[in-house]
Structure 1
């Protein structure tokens, strides 16, 4: 049996980012396969209460425990760092803490819980944990595994440190990466990037199937019949996600309705561009993606950066919702050969003075043709909806639900 300890850096137990979904789905899959699992994560008190209540309702003792660790601030005052531990409905042991400016306290916290859990594997996707585990007192008792969710995480190549917080010290992290026991790339695009730009060998595995199951019922997602819906959706509108393409399409088709959901890349300046367009609605970030799938007729994913996979593409396709996506990074892999996958001029890594990627000009014509056809031709839409749901289901059922467990077990 594996004992897997995950360090989760996203804020909250249920954030909307694809990377978080992949991480937590890995842990839930391993737990469901009979392995012991734990994670250290940032969460709010109400989230802890909700998770503990669901565990109790499923006959699992949540064992909620609260501890205050002393933290000394720069002025010498002592404060309490709240740490809660609990077991959730998936039998995952969670160590929840508050964000703190005192890194030494967090290092001690991480280290102590790793020691207490006695893991066979520690999994992470951040440089801080990679360093903490490299010098852990019982380092030789567990394997260290890094998950690569974006090219920006890697300490080499044109996109190094292209996203805030993804790579803090390229030279140091490059050396540390090569001393790990395993590195999981979530797409062939990321695997090839690591090999080409850093001569770094990684393991490509598709996300665990649980990533895409219905979050409430736990089964296959319900296929939608959205032919009579009238909105075109996009998640996380920002320049490197294809904001310019969305704006151009909204201007080209003033009678079509567009709706976007804000996410981590959406800044005020980007949203202001959309607010100037009368046929575009802006919605808040949602953790319940059914709000998206119940509403839209077509999903736009016009990304211009080196996408790792594009979980939102797979989620939509499994529900029979046609996706018009770019061919950037791993998006063709997520598209699994379905229409439409449109060539774009990807960002090259060149940046503006403020650090944002320089976004090249795009050929909008193929996007216009595809969108008009899918939105106005009912026969085309119906055929594409059926094909999308069928092919996505076939792809899903071809996945090995124990692939990640087998890989972890194979590490000597």
Structure 2
């Protein structure tokens, strides 16, 4: 008798994307959208709620059309009534992108103007209604999120029993326990309530062993460790392996997101120690005016605006510094650089040793403890700068050392990426559907 062939069930995956914009530079956004694109490529129905500027929507829809995918753009005004009976209008656009992901987009500028973040109660009322309605309309098998608002919405959703709820832990600050609880704005709005809700989820994805161990150590919370989907690290234009750079004759030393807990003090110390070297930083979500002013006072430091096109970084720098002092979840920027053969000098904070995959250099640091200044910045312990000075001088001055490290970095990082299971996340999500 012939064996019946196994038919893989199709999932309907609904992602709530809290990042502001369709192409923000944060690692968490990249992980979220890469997961959705991977699942779409594997034949599953995917949709996300997100925020975007008008020009971003136009650009993404045009790219879809260029690849023969009908974006099916819609533009509607959705009336909403808050608990006080006041009427509001939300501009919503929808389209299908080049990865066949359906996007339900809140116009970022108009939404922030109509529902400012300082009027949190009104903003929450609108989002709860909006998210809940779209979950009902899409009829998902899984709802994926990394924010407390969606966790609360799905906890009491009328159709709660028809879908699995999955939380992605991108930072220790998201977790409602431990020394870093509520260390980032927008996380842990109500730790006690969120802690209880976490225990009722169908799955929690930790993006590193460091996060998984933190969740267990401080909250006895069981999570699943999965490396980011391989597509997170593929070339975004071609979908293939990243192009290895030959940047031995470049002069810039790069760092992304300069701020205290990302190692601003180490960058400043190195720039002062080596006034003949050129440093360039790309500002990001943690870079406040006071932080940038420290760098502006240094003549050998250039500050660039945030970029979502990381090729601008990889085409420019000889070495990447990642001197982070907080409990990093993974450090996507480390992996991105190494895949392109760019040596990375990183700290050993949190999940950075995992991202380094045994490559030089990974330097011990004194991590932040969770103590914070009045302005919200973490209190940063004094650091031993000598190992950073030695590593940077060796890589920048010794051409043979650089050439050998460049080749080793590109080869080992490429082998690591090719060794990942491209269906790992799909298998995990499907396994939830088999559970009774």
Q: Do the two structures share a fold, i.e. TM-score over 0.5?
A: yes
User: Pick from 57, 68, 78: which aligns with 1:59?
Assistant: 68
Residue 159 of structure 1 aligns to a residue whose secondary structure is coil
**Per-residue deviation, 1:77:** 6.4
Contact 2:83 2:125 in 1 (8 A): no
Residue 122 of structure 1 aligns to a residue whose secondary structure is strand
**1: CA distance, partners of 2:263 / 2:95:** 40
Map residues 244-323 of structure 1 onto 2, 5 A cutoff: 244-323=265-344
Residue 229 of structure 1 aligns to a residue whose secondary structure is coil
Residue 317 of structure 2 aligns to a residue whose secondary structure is coil
Contact 2:82 2:125 in 1 (8 A): no
**Per-residue deviation, 1:64:** 1.1
- Which residue of structure 1 aligns with residue 225 of structure 2? 204
**2: CA distance, partners of 1:187 / 1:74:** 41
- Which residue of structure 2 aligns with residue 19 of structure 1? 28
Tell me the number of residue pairs that the alignment of Structure 1 and Structure 2 aligns.
Answer: 412
1:355 aligns with 2:364: no
1:158 aligns with 2:167: no
- Which residue of structure 1 aligns with residue 415 of structure 2? 394
1:81 aligns with 2:90: yes
**Deviates most, 365-374 or 112-121:** 112-121
**Deviates most, 157-166 or 56-65:** 56-65
**Per-residue deviation, 1:151:** 0.1
- Which residue of structure 2 aligns with residue 9 of structure 1? 18
- Which residue of structure 2 aligns with residue 328 of structure 1? 349
**Per-residue deviation, 1:79:** 3.9
**2: CA distance, partners of 1:45 / 1:23:** 21
- Which residue of structure 1 aligns with residue 119 of structure 2? none
1:83-105 superposed Cα distances (whole Å, 9 cap, x missing partner): 11111111111100133353222
**1: CA distance, partners of 2:291 / 2:130:** 38
**Per-residue deviation, 1:111:** 1.0
**2: CA distance, partners of 1:75 / 1:234:** 48
**Per-residue deviation, 1:70:** 2.2
Q: CA RMSD in A?
A: 1.3
Contact 2:82 2:126 in 1 (8 A): no
**Per-residue deviation, 1:76:** 7.6
Map residues 117-266 of structure 1 onto 2, 5 A cutoff: 117-266=138-287
1:205-255 superposed Cα distances (whole Å, 9 cap, x missing partner): 000000001111111100000000001000000000000000000000000
**Per-residue deviation, 1:46:** 1.3
1:45 aligns with 2:54: yes
- Which residue of structure 2 aligns with residue 366 of structure 1? 387
Residue 83 of structure 1 aligns to a residue whose secondary structure is strand
Which ranges of structure 2 fall in alignment gaps of 5 or more residues?
1-9, 117-121
Query: With structure 2 as the length reference, what TM-score do the two structures score?
Result: 0.93
User: Pick from 126, 147, 165: which aligns with 1:105?
Assistant: 126
**2: CA distance, partners of 1:260 / 1:58:** 34
1:232-289 superposed Cα distances (whole Å, 9 cap, x missing partner): 0000000000000000000000000000000000011010100100000000000100
**Per-residue deviation, 1:172:** 0.3
Query: With structure 1 as the length reference, what TM-score do the two structures score?
Result: 0.98
